[in-house]
Amino acid sequence: LPAEKNPIKIEEVKKDLVKENNENSATKTAVDNGPRMTLESIKKICKQHKGYATPELNDILYLHFQGFGKIENLELYTGLKCLWLEANGIQKIENLDHQKELKC
């Protein structure tokens, strides 16, 4: 979306997410004992699956079989139409508010 129509300030979200990821990247909560779905891990997986380095350009994310316990840090992936999450330890579908093109 053009910047004037996009209510999300991308640079601010990026800074906040990077800061949060840096603070919490090595920590695990009691709820999810698996690896965290960090921006760095998502970008690495995108690269492995020939995705784009720019999060907004990806329309498919292959995050299956990664051991993630929680859906998080997908705010920048606003162009998603397909999200593969099977075979993870995800207990609750949440944090998908920014994925307006994602459909069941």
Band of residue 22 on the pLDDT scale cut at 50, 70, 90: low
Spell 54-90 as b/e; 16+ CB within 10 A means b: ebeebeebbbeebebbbbbbbbbbbbbeebebeebeb
3-state percent breakdown (helix, strand, coil) of the chain, nearest 5 = 25, 5, 65
Whole-prediction pTM: 0.67
pLDDT digits (tens, 9 = 90+) for 53-84: 999 999 999 999 999 999 999 999 999 999 99
Please give the backbone phi and psi of residue 14, each rounded to the nearest 5 degrees, phi first.
Answer: -60, -45
- Identify whether the C-beta of residue 99 lies closer than 8 Å to the C-beta of residue 59: no
- Identify whether the C-beta of residue 87 lies closer than 8 Å to the C-beta of residue 34: no
